[in-house]
Chains A and B, each alone.
Chain A
C-alpha cells in the first residue's frame, strides 16, 4: 500500500539557521505517528513544511502518489492535509458554527454550500460542541477553542491530520476528553501526526514515534523503545543522564506503557 505521506530528505533553513535537516520518513495509512523532541528541535517547522506553510529548501514531500513539494497551504488543504495550530488560531469574531462551516466550505471534497453545512453540523456534534455553536469563538475557553480548531480541520474531511500540541495548556480532565476525541477521529480512518510534549499522551496514542533533535530525526520506533534509547534521553536531559536511561519491558506496545513513559519526564 502506498504510504499516506512520504518525506524524502526534506530540509528547511531560515538564513543561516537550519531548522530541519534531511528528514525522511513514511507515514503509513491509518497510523498515529508521534513527533517529539526538545524545544527548538524543528517539530513545528516540519508540520509547517508538510502543510505547505513553508517551502522546503531541499527534498521532496509526497502525499499519496502526488508530489506536493512547494505547493501552497490551500492546495494541500484541498488535497486532504488538515492541521491545528500550537498557538490557537480560531476566527475569533465568527461563531463556532461559522468557524467549522469555513473549513467545510473550501476544503471539503464533496462540494456545495448545503453539503458543507451538513458536514459542519455533524462535525460539531462529533466533537461535542453542539451546545456552543452560536457562541463567538473568541469568547469560549481554551479547551473549547482547541476543539473548534479540531472541528474545523475535521470538517475538511482530511486524509492526514496534523495536531500541533493539541493538548498543551489543558487540565487533566480536559486532556482525558481530548485523548478520547483523538482516538475517535482515528477510528474514522484519519491518519495522524501528533506533536505533543506530554509523554503520557504520546505513549498512549502513538503507534510509532519519531524523535527530532537539532532539526534531524534522532530516533524512531515503537514508543516504549524510543523513550528507552540513551540517545533520546541524552537529547532531553543531557549526556549525564543517558546512562540512567529507563529500562522498558521488551514488547511493550502503544497504549500499555504509559507508566514507563511518565518516568522519563522530570
Chain B
C-alpha cells in the first residue's frame, strides 16, 4: 500500500513538489544507510558522507570522463564504496563511541580534501555531468525510491536471523558478544560496507540529478550529521524508524524553510532536541504501538539519558 502510494506520487506532484518528494526519499535512503552501522551495531558514524561522496564522484567521473553508461557507473561507484569500507572498517571499527565518531568525521573530511587534488575529477572545480538522454524528474524520483527499497530490503535481511542477533549483541556488549562466539570485526565491517553501498547508490543518483559535483557539496559534513539526526528521531536500530524520521524532519524542515528562512534551522534544532531528549528511542516505537506515550514515559526518557 505504502509502495503503491509512493509509486503514484509523480503522477500527482510536479515541479517543485516532486523535487521535494525526491529529496525526502534521498534522505530516507541516507538515514537507512546510517542506521545499518549506527543503529544496528551502535557505531555512531559521523562520516557516512564519505560513501555518498565516493558514490557521487565515481559516478560523475566514469560518466563524464569515460562515457560509461549511468547504470554501470553507479554499480562501479557502489563497489568502490564497499571496497573503501572494507579497507578502513577493520581499523576504524576498533574505536568506540566518541572516538569512532571523530575518526569517521576526520576520514570523510580528509577524503574531501584528497579529491581536490585529483585533476581527473576537476580538482577543486568539480565535475559537470552531461548525458545524451537525461532522465526526467519522475525518473529521479523512482531512482531514489529504488534506493530506499534496496536499503529497506538490506536492513530487513540483516535484522532477521543470526546476523541480526550478532548486531544486537555487538550493540549492547561487544565483549560479551565476542565471548559468545560472534566474529565482531566481520559483522561490524559487513554492516559498515552495506551502509557504504546504500550511501554510494544515493550519491551516484544525486550526482546525475544535480548534474554537478564538487568537494564542498558531496563531502559536506552536514549530510553526515543529517543522517544521524533523521535516524535518531525516527528510531535507530529499527527497520522503519529512519524512514519515519526522514519523512517527519524533512517535511518540518521544508515547511519552516518556506516561512522562516533565517530562523528555520533554530526551530528545527529545537524540534530535534525535544525529540531526542524526551523520546530517546525515537518516534517509531510509539507509532508501532509497542509503547504507550504518557507524561511519565517522556520524563523517564529524559532521566535515562542523563545516566
A91 contacts across to B, CB distance below 8 A: 168-169, 172-173, 176-177
Mostly helix, strand, loop or mixed at chain B's interface?
A: helix
Q: Is the CB of B179 within 8 A of A53?
A: yes
Instruction: Fill in one digit per residue for B163-181: 1 if any A CB lies within 8 Å of its CB, else 0.
Output: 0011011001101111111
Contact residues on A (Cβ < 8 Å of other chain), bracket: 20 to 34
Instruction: Fill in one digit per residue for B58-84: 1 if any A CB lies within 8 Å of its CB, else 0.
Output: 000000000000000000000000000
Cα distance A78–B181 when bound, in Å? 6
Q: Is the CB of B176 within 8 A of A92?
A: no
Q: Is the CB of B172 within 8 A of A77?
A: no
Given A91-B168, A101-B165, A105-B165, A85 and B181 contact (CB-CB distance below 8 Å): no
Number of B positions contacting A (CB below 8 A):
18
A90 contacts across to B, CB distance below 8 A: 173, 176
Q: Which of B155-214 contact A (CB under 8 A)?
A: 161-162, 165-166, 168-169, 172-173, 175-184
Q: Is the CB of A72 within 8 A of B169?
A: no
Cα distance A73–B183 when bound, in Å? 9
Q: Which of A131-172 contact B (CB under 8 A)?
A: 152, 156
A113 contacts across to B, CB distance below 8 A: 161-162
B180 contacts across to A, CB distance below 8 A: 74, 77, 102-103, 106-107, 152, 156
Q: Is the CB of B169 within 8 A of A102?
A: yes
Q: Is the CB of B165 within 8 A of A98?
A: yes
Cα distance A98–B177 when bound, in Å? 12
CB contact between A85 and one of B161, B165, B176 (< 8 Å): that residue: B176
A102 contacts across to B, CB distance below 8 A: 165, 168-169, 177, 180, 182
B161 contacts across to A, CB distance below 8 A: 113
B176 contacts across to A, CB distance below 8 A: 85, 89-91, 152
B165 contacts across to A, CB distance below 8 A: 98, 101-102, 105-106
A83 interface hit (Cβ, 8 Å): yes
Cα distance A233–B263 when bound, in Å? 73
Q: Is the CB of A53 within 8 A of B181?
A: no
A82 contacts across to B, CB distance below 8 A: 179
A73 contacts across to B, CB distance below 8 A: 175, 178-179
A218 interface hit (Cβ, 8 Å): no
CB contact between A77 and one of B162, B166, B168, B181 (< 8 Å): that residue: B181
Cα distance A233–B220 when bound, in Å? 65
A94 interface hit (Cβ, 8 Å): yes
**CB nearest to A73 among chain B residues:** B178
A93 interface hit (Cβ, 8 Å): yes
Given A51-B179, A77-B181, A103-B181, A89 and B173 contact (CB-CB distance below 8 Å): yes
B175 contacts across to A, CB distance below 8 A: 53, 73, 85, 89
Q: Which of A178-216 contact B (CB under 8 A)?
A: none
Q: Is the CB of B168 within 8 A of A72?
A: no
Given A73-B179, A106-B181, A156-B181, A94 and B162 contact (CB-CB distance below 8 Å): no
B181 contacts across to A, CB distance below 8 A: 74, 77-78, 103, 105-108, 156
Q: Which B residues contact A (CB, under 8 angstroms)?
A: 161-162, 165-166, 168-169, 172-173, 175-184
Known: A51-B179, A72-B178, A74-B184. 12 other contacts (CB 8 A): A53-B175, A74-B183, A77-B180, A89-B173, A91-B169, A91-B177, A94-B172, A101-B165, A102-B180, A106-B180, A106-B182, A156-B181
In the assembled complex, 29 residue pairs joining A and B whose CB atoms fall closer than 8 Å, in A order, are A53-B178, A73-B175, A73-B179, A74-B178, A74-B179, A74-B183, A77-B180, A82-B179, A83-B179, A85-B176, A85-B179, A89-B175, A89-B179, A90-B173, A90-B176, A98-B165, A98-B168, A102-B180, A102-B182, A103-B180, A105-B162, A106-B162, A106-B166, A106-B180, A106-B183, A107-B181, A113-B161, A156-B180, A156-B181
